[in-house]
Amino acid sequence: MSLGFGLTPYSKVREIIENWKPKTFDKEEQYEESLERELKKNLKDQEIDRQYTFDEQRADIVVHGEVPIELKRDIRTDQDVSDTIDQLDGYLKKWDRVFLVICGDIS
């Protein structure tokens, strides 16, 4: 399914994420806003939702209702990793794939 992307939706979103060069921000929300702007710039005809709510969960960004993106900033602890995995598992009940974009400190 191409949904007007030319490439598959996942391929085009992946390409945009790989080429996205955000500056360093203090908050995860600022990374979300920056990526949302980049997606809107490159996917002019696609619906892009921030804080997309479904089944009592919330994905940071979803493109065309089909491509979920979760951003994480400063993953530092085992609990951060565990929480992220649990969150992504929930997304995979709705979608076949999900993008995880990690920004900031990942020590």
For residues 4-11, average pLDDT: 70
User: Can you tell me the distance from the alpha carbon of 12 to that of 27, in angstroms, rounded to the nearest whole number?
Assistant: 26
Residue 7: predicted pLDDT: 59
For residues 69-98, average pLDDT: 94
Which residue has 């979803």 as its token pair? 62
Residue bearing the bigger pLDDT, 8 or 46: 46
HSE-CB of 79 using CA atoms within 13 angstroms: 0
Residue bearing the bigger pLDDT, 1 or 76: 76
Answer whether 0.85 is exceeded by the pTM.
yes
Residue 2: predicted pLDDT: 46
Flag whether pLDDT at 21 surpasses 50: yes
Q: What are phi and psi of 28, to 5 degrees?
A: -60, -40
* Per-residue pLDDT tens over the stretch 25-81: 999 999 999 999 999 999 988 999 999 999 889 999 999 999 999 999 989 899 999
Token representation of residue 35: 């990526």
